[in-house]
Amino acid sequence: MPATVATTITTTTAITTTTTPKPVDYKNECGVRPLMQKYGRIVGGKGATFGAWPWQVLVRESTWLGLFTKNKCGGVLLSNRYVVTAAHCQPGFLANLVAVMGEFDLSGELESKRSITRNVRRVVVHRGYDAATFANDLALLELESPVQFDEHVVPICLPRDNEDFTGRVATVTGWGRLKYGGGVPSVLQEVQVPVIDNSVCQEMFLTAGHQKQILSSFLCAGYANGQKDSCEGDSGGPLMLERPDGRWTLVGTVSHGIKCAAPYLPGVYMRTTYYKPWLKSITGIK
Ligand code: ARG
């Protein structure tokens, strides 16, 4: 399709609604959203719609052989058998992780398509993970059996090797707290936050009176006046951007922050481009 036609479709709503959308090849393409019209909390965000973020994973922790299960973190589907999450989401003593794909509303089975649950066979925590500094706060979860991609279960794309997202407005999603110390939503939340340059981010933390070191493997996103951010429970979930071709790419994964959505304290994410070699070495994906 010529570039000019593609531009018209993405910017003109009228065309999108009157044209039969090009079928989305979710079985072979990463980063596509089959259930979104267009192909044509998270703090300060809004509820998503069912299937809007088909690579979002809910990471649950099960203890006492499944007698107790709690929602622990977010995660991101990278392939039919791998989910990336935060290293600090690893299971506690005598506990297992369970990954739920295609989930949306945690309050019951009200969705039009069912979620897919898989036990985690293996947790590969980054060997450089440091709980004190959150350095290398990344873990890969290998699923016990592969998942079948569906309209609401699609893996995200990885960025190109040296792709730079500074200044772009990215989206972060999750079932984490709606404000610092607050409650959790039942429906998946989404919020838009700009990607901040690391040196600017470092200055922001200093301005807020925190000595925290912003490593080159980190990526910050948020606003100087706060208001919008990820929060506790969103960890491991995706910070993502849409490519010009309409497919979505993983910019970072939620790691940590100080409070949530506070002034001069943006959210800190693990920078996907930095970890691409590590992700590839374990999952084998391109
Ligand atoms: N560590 C938190 C978690 O385990 C994520 C915190 C993100 N904080 C922030 N202010 N962006 O879910």
pLDDT, tens digit, for every residue of 95-154? 999 999 999 999 988 888 999 999 999 999 999 999 999 999 999 999 999 999 999 999
Report residue 21's pLDDT band, with 50, 70 and 90 as the boundaries: low
Check if the beta carbon of residue 227 is closer than 8 Å to that of residue 245.
Answer: no
> What are the tens digits of pLDDT across the range 220-276?
999 999 999 999 999 999 999 999 999 999 999 999 999 999 999 999 999 999 999
Ligand 1 pocket, CB under 6 A: 73, 176, 229-235, 254, 256-257, 260, 267
Beta bridge partners of 122: 142
pLDDT above 90 (res 38) = no
Kindly report the pTM of this predicted structure. Answer: 0.91
pLDDT of residue 20: 61
Residue 19's pLDDT is 57
137 is catalytic: yes
Ligand 1 site-directed mutation target among 223, 235, 259, most atoms within 8 Å of CB: 235
Of residues 64 and 11, more confidence is placed in 64
Distance between Cα 237 and ligand 1 center (Å): 10
Distance from residue 58's CA to the centre of ligand 1 (Å): 15
Kindly report the average pLDDT of the chain as a whole number: 92
